[in-house]
Amino acid sequence: MQLWSKGLVAIAGVAAISAFCVSSASAAPITGTVNLSGSVAVGGTFIDFQPPAGPPDGAFTVSNSGNSGSFSGLNNTAGTIMDLSSTTPGSSIPGFITFAAAPNIRLDLTSVDPGSFTSTDCFAAPAAGQTCTPGAPFPQPNPFNLSNGSASLSVASITFHGDVVNTVTGEKSSFIGVFSSQFTVPYQMLLSEITAGRAISTSYSASITASPSPSVPEPATMILLGSGLIGVFVIGRKRAR
């Protein structure tokens, strides 16, 4: 009984120390959904968020509803988003999105998904239900998913991914976002304009959702896991004597 009680005291002592380490090392990750809107000009090789026109970035406004979690207090505030180019897919942009009212939150772009449609209907006669991800001569892989709601209405969207960084603690979460724009012309007309070397100016909206990244045990957590083994070792050693 004495050996067990001493072993338990050892476990309790180490557990108390490790519990303190866990509480001091933990930090709340940035999570939730944020909705943005702004203006953009899209050309054959670039996406220029505006204002201002031209690189390297543009301004946006956080929507006044639908924001949650760490973003819930950002309604109607402003932020900055970096422009994109044809070399962006597969590359990363640190500080892709920042918020004026929350300087501790930074969104780093890590990838832009290739479009998931085919190019079969990209230059077909406009009709409802058509979809298109532009092929050559447009830059490849092309990130746009284009769809016609009717012969005179279309939507363009892009899906992107990255890390949400708490600039105070350094903690990271993962995010996925979607840019989308609606047009009162079929996407075939948009592609014709871009092919002719002209940019398409329009408004956009974006919805971004951040969630905790898959966790890896921190040193403090490993202390907790190891404390039981230490206690068992103490008991076993005393029994051996």
pLDDT tens digit string along 187-211? 999 999 999 999 999 999 999 999 9
The rounded distance, in Å, linking the Cα atoms of 22 and 70 is 22
CB contact at 8 A, 30 and 37: no
Alpha-carbon span 132 to 128, nearest angstrom: 12
Residue 171 has what DSSP assignment?
-
Pairwise CA distance, residues 133 & 114, whole Å: 9
72 has a pLDDT exceeding 50: yes
Q: Is the pLDDT of residue 229 over 50?
A: no
Pairing verdict, β 153-166 and 102-112: antiparallel
Domain ranges within the chain, ordered by starting residue: 2-25+218-240, 32-212
Sole residue written with tokens 């996406």: 47
Helix axes 219-240, 2-25, angle to 10 degrees: 170
Name the residue with higher pLDDT: 162 or 219: 162
What pLDDT score does 213 carry? 77
H or E element at residue 187: helix 187-195
